[in-house]
Structure 1
Amino acid sequence: MNVFLKRPLLFTLPLLLGCLVVAAPPATGADPVAQKKYGVQSIDLGELEKGIEQLEQAFSLFSLDPTLRDNLATAHALLGRKLLESKSYEEAAKHFGRGSELYPDEPRFHLLRGIAFSLAKNEEMARHELSLARSLGGDTAEGLYFLGKTYYDAGETDQAMALWEKAATLAPSESSLAGLLEKVRREQSVEERMERGHSSRFIVSYDSGTKTDNALAILDLLEEFYNSVGTDLGFFPASRIPVILYTRQDYREVTRSPHWSGGLYDGKIRLPVGGITEITPDIRATLRHEYVHAVVIDLTRGNCPTWLNEGIAEIQGRLEYNPPLGELEKAAKRGEFLPLKRLEGSFAGLEGGEVRLAYEQSYSLVDFIVSAHGWHRLRMVLEDLGSGLSLGEAMNRAFADVGLDYDGLFGRWRDHVLREVGGGGTPER
C-alpha cells in the first residue's frame, strides 16, 4: 500500500517585472537596449528561455541597470517555478540559484531554491538554502515546513516537530499543518520507545519485542532488494530510507490505515511485524512490495497512478510469495473487471473482494506489459511520468514504435486474461 504525502506549495512569487516595454525586433550585435526590449517581450509571450538568453546578453554588457537586473532575476524565477510544476527540480534549483546570484540578500530566491532541493531529495543543500532564507528574511510557514521536512526525512523528528509547530503559528488556517502535527505526534508516542539500527541505505526502528537479529536481517534483505529492484527498474534511490517495524496495534494507531493494510509507504516504510520470530516468505514479500513503492515514488516524483505503482510492487513482492489470483479469475469469468480509471486513485476506500481484485488486476496488467514488452518499456513510462507527462502521454510514447497506445495495451491485456481464464463481457475502462 502506498500513501504518499502531497503538500501544495503555500508561497506565491511577486513579480519584479513592471510595465513591459514596447516590443522590439530581435537584437543584433552588442545592443543591450534592443536585447533588453526583446527579452522582456519574449517573457511576456511566455518564451522564458529565449527571454533569459537575451536578458543575460544585455546584462553582461549593462550590469548596472537596476531594471535589467530585476527583469533577469524575475525571468529566472518564473522559469524556475515552471520547472517546479513540471517536476524538474534540479533544473529549477539552477534558475533560483541564478536569481540569488543577482540578489544575494533576497530570501525568496533561497527559499525557492531550498524547496526545489527538498523536492529533489537533496537534503543537505535544501537545509542550507532554507536556513539561509530564514536568516535573511525571518521565518515563513513555507520555509519552516520544507526545512522541517529535511529533518523528518532524516529521522530527526524532534527538530521537525519544532519547526512545524512554529509554521502552524504563522499559518493557523493551514489545516494540512495541523493534520501533519497530529500524525507525527502519534508516531512519536510509539517510536520514541523503539530501538534503532542502520545500514548504508536504510534506518530501521523496531519494537522492543522484535529481536535485534531479526531487525538486522530485515536490513540485510532491504539491501538485497535495493540491488535487485534497482536492476529491474534502472533506478537506485540516493537518500537513506527509514523503515519502522510496529506491533499490529501500534501500526493501526499510528497509520490509521484500512484494516486490510499489511504495510504502507508514506516517505517511510511502515510494517506491522513487531515481535516477529522469523522472516517468513509473506514478510519478505511485503517488505519488497513496500520498498518498490519508495523506488517508484522517487523515480516518478509521485506522479504515478495507483494501479501502476501497486502492479509493479506486486510483481516484485510475488517473487517472494505468490498466492493464487482467485479474485481475478472470478472477475474474468464474469467479465466484470474493475474500471481502470477507478484504479488510478487510492485503494483505501475499497473493501473485501474489491481490494483483492484491485491488487490482482493491477498485478496482472503490469505483469502482462513486462512479459510482452520488457522492463525497459516500463522504465520509459516511469521516467516520462517523472518528467511530468500524464499516464496516457507516457504510455503512448513508450509503445508508439510497436503501434500501441494506452487503450490498445489495456485491450490486449483484457483479451489475454479472458482467453486464459475464460468468460465474457467487456470490462469497463
Structure 2
Amino acid sequence: MRAPRLALLTTLVALAVAQRSSAEVEVHLHQIESASAPPTVLIRSEVPGEVNFSVLGKGFIRTSKLVESATASFKVPKPGIYQYKLAAGLEHSRGILTLEAGKVTQVLLSGEFAAPAPPLPEPVEESLSFEPHSAGVALIRNPFGPAFEKLSVDEKIRLVLESPQGQSLSATERIQLLGFLYNEKGVRAAEARQFEEAEQVLRKAYQNLPEQSAVRLNLAFAVAGNGNELRLSGNYGVGERKLLEALSLLAGSGDTHLEPQVRSALASLYVDQALGFPSTETRRREMLFKKALELDPNHPGALFQIGQLAYQEYELDTALDYFERAYEGAPQAELGELIEKVRLEIDEAGDFVTQDRGFFRISFEGREVAHVAKETRKLLEQAAREVGRKFGLRPKGTIPVVIYSGGQFSKITGLHSWAGGAYDGKIRLPLSDLSESDLISGGQYLAELVFHEYTHALLHNRTAPAKIPVWLHEGLAQMAAGQNPDNPLLRRQVMDSLASGRLPMPSKLVGEFAGISDSAIAAQVYLESFLFVRFLIEDKGGWPKARRLIEAIGDGESIEDAFSTAYRKSLEDLESEWVNG
C-alpha cells in the first residue's frame, strides 16, 4: 500500500501517520483563504464505499461519514493543531492538521480499499432510557372549580398548600392530591433530564403515595439518572449510592427495562472508578472490574479491562477469552485488531518461559534465549538504578518484558523496520536472535535500547492515568538512555521547518510516533523531540526541573500548567526561546 504522506500543496499542513492496513486510500490537503474567521474543514471523498473521517482536538471531536462524491464541512472552535483519523474498510490512518483562522482546509480522500469493515453499532447513549409513568387514579373532591385543570402544576401545588379551598380538603385528600401533583411535576423534570430536581419532587410524591408502583418506578428512574450523571462527572461515591438506591427501589417491581440499565450504569461506574487508580494498583482495579461483572456479566468495558490485566500478566488465553466476550457486546474495530494481535501472539509466543524477579517479569522462548534474557535483566536493573536517579522514581509493582525474534516482533507489534523496541504496557524487545558475541559487540546499542524502553515504562508506571505527551516521552527517553540522534544537516532542516511554521512545534505533535511508516519523517519528529528536551535539560535547570515537570503531570496538572509549575514559564514561551535562541 501507499501510506498517507507528507503533503506539500500550497503549504505543508499535514504530518500523516500510517498504521497497518491493506488499503490504498490517500489523504490530500490544501488550504485557501476564507472570509470566515473560525477555521473550517471541508472534506470530499472520491473513495468507493463509505469512509469515516474524524477531526480531534482538545475538547473537540467531529466525525463525518461520507460515501463516494459526498462532501462534509464544519468549523472548529479555535486555530491550532488537530489530529485526524481515517477509517475506510480495513484502512486506519491518522495525521496532523494545522487549522488556521480565516482559512479553509480542504481534505480530498482518493483511492480505494479492498474490503469494507463490518458495520459497527450506533454508540450507546450515556443516558438512561425510560418512559415515566402517571400515577394511578383516585377520586378526590375538587374544591377549586373547573379552572383548576387549566393551571400549571406549580400553581396547582401552591393552591393546595396555601389557599382556603385547599385547607378544606381532608388530610388524606390533601396528601393524595399533592402526591399526584408532585408525580406529575417530577415526571416532567425527568423527561427534561433534570434529574436532581426530578428526584427531589418525586421523593415527595413517593412519601405521599408509597403504595403507587408507578411513582416508585419514576423515583427509581430519577435517582438512577441523577446517579448516572454524577458518575459521568466523576463523583463516584455519591453516584454509587444513588444507583444502589435505584436498584433497591426497583427490587420486586417486575421491571425488565430500567433495572438492566441501572446495573450497567453502576458497572460502568466501577470501571470508571478503577481506571482512576494508577495502573500499579492492580488488585484494587481488578476488584472493581469484577464487581462490575457481578452486576453486568456482559459489560464490555469490564471484560476488556480484566482482559488487559491478564494480557499484562502474559496470560494470553485468558486475555483472549475476555477480549472476545467484550467484542461480542461492543464490536469496535480497534478491539478486533487487538484480538487478532493476541491470537498472533499465542501462535508466535504462547509457549514462552517467564521469569518473575524483582521489578521485572521477563518472558522469552526458552533455554536457547536464556543468555539474552540474562543480559537484558542485567541492563534493566542497571536502568532502574541510573534512570531512577535522574527522575527520583522507582517502579511500582512489576514491569512485564517480552523478548522476541525480529520476525516475531514485527508480526506482533506491526511496527516498521526502523523501530528497535516498543512499550505498550509491556517492554517488547526484538533480541532473541542475538548470539553471545552479538551481545558483546553491540553492547552500547543494546544498553541504549533497554534504557530507552525502560524510561517509557517507568514514566507510564508512575504517572498513569495522567498522560505524558508522546514528544515529551520520546525526548526524555532518548536523553535518559544517553542517545544522541543529532546530525547537523537534519537538525538544520528541522529547525528551519519549525521557524517557518512548516513543522509543528513539539507541543503540537499528536499521535503515536511508532506508527510512522516513513523513516525520514520518523527521524524528524524524534529529533525534534530530542532537541527540545535536550534544551530543557541542558539550558533550563537539568534533571531536577524535568523531575518536577513529571511530578506535576503525575499530580494531574495539564501539560501547560505543569510546565509553568516546573519552569516558571509557559510551554509556548520555552518553545519560542528554543527556536529563536
TM-score of the two chains, using structure 2 as the length reference: 0.54
Cα distance, 1:411–1:123 mapped onto 2, change above 3 Å: same
Q: Quick one: which amino acid aligns to residue 512 of structure 2?
A: S
Cα distance, 1:324–1:385 mapped onto 2, change above 3 Å: closer
Aligned to 1:191: 349
1:308 and 2:475 aligned = no
CA distance in 1, matches of 2:474, 2:326: 34
> Root-mean-square deviation (CA), in Å?
4.0
1:103, distance to aligned residue in structure 2 (A): 6.2
Aligned to 1:291: 454
Cα distance, 1:137–1:343 mapped onto 2, change above 3 Å: closer
Cα distance, 1:272–1:316 mapped onto 2, change above 3 Å: same
1:16, distance to aligned residue in structure 2 (A): 9.7
Give the structure with higher Rg (CA). 2
Aligned-pair identity (%)? 24
Question: Greater strand percent: which structure?
Answer: 2
Cα distance, 1:75–1:283 mapped onto 2, change above 3 Å: farther
Matches within 5 A, 1:380-419: 380-386=548-554, 390-399=558-567, 402=568, 404-416=569-581
CA distance in 2, matches of 1:212, 1:233: 31
Cα distance, 1:354–1:167 mapped onto 2, change above 3 Å: closer
CA distance in 1, matches of 2:236, 2:372: 41
Q: Report if the CA contact (8 A) 2:316-2:350 is conserved.
A: no
1:232, distance to aligned residue in structure 2 (A): 2.8
Q: Matched residue of 1:344: which SS?
A: coil
1:222 and 2:383 aligned = no
Aligned to 1:265: 423
Aligned to 1:154: 313
Q: Deviations over 1:170-227 (max 9, x none)?
A: 234x222211111111111111132221223221111347542431332233233234
1:355 corresponds to which of 513, 522, 546? 522
Aligned to 1:317: 481
1:144 and 2:303 aligned = yes
Unaligned runs of 5+ in 1: 4-9, 23-40, 84-91, 417-429
1:272, distance to aligned residue in structure 2 (A): 1.0
Q: Report if the CA contact (8 A) 1:300-1:383 is conserved.
A: no
Q: Report if the CA contact (8 A) 1:245-1:271 is conserved.
A: yes
Q: Report if the CA contact (8 A) 1:100-1:110 is conserved.
A: no
CA distance in 2, matches of 1:230, 1:270: 20
1:78 and 2:229 aligned = yes
Q: Deviations over 1:250-300 (max 9, x none)?
A: 111111102211111111111111132226121111111112112333415
Aligned to 1:245: 403
Aligned to 2:391: 233
TM-score of the two chains, using structure 1 as the length reference: 0.71
CA distance in 2, matches of 1:328, 1:302: 32
CA distance in 2, matches of 1:99, 1:225: 48
1:170 and 2:329 aligned = yes
CA distance in 2, matches of 1:221, 1:363: 22
1:74, distance to aligned residue in structure 2 (A): 5.5
CA distance in 2, matches of 1:295, 1:242: 12
Aligned to 1:107: 263
Cα distance, 1:140–1:344 mapped onto 2, change above 3 Å: closer
Q: Quick one: which amino acid aligns to residue 112 of structure 1?
A: L
Q: Deviations over 1:35-65 (max 9, x none)?
A: xxxxxx9xx999x9xx9xxx9xx9xxx9x99
Aligned to 1:32: none
1:116 and 2:246 aligned = no
1:147, distance to aligned residue in structure 2 (A): 2.0
CA distance in 1, matches of 2:384, 2:242: 37
1:169, distance to aligned residue in structure 2 (A): 2.1
2:493 corresponds to which of 331, 336, 339? 331
CA distance in 2, matches of 1:222, 1:95: 44
Q: Report if the CA contact (8 A) 1:198-1:219 is conserved.
A: no
Question: Greater helix percent: which structure?
Answer: 1
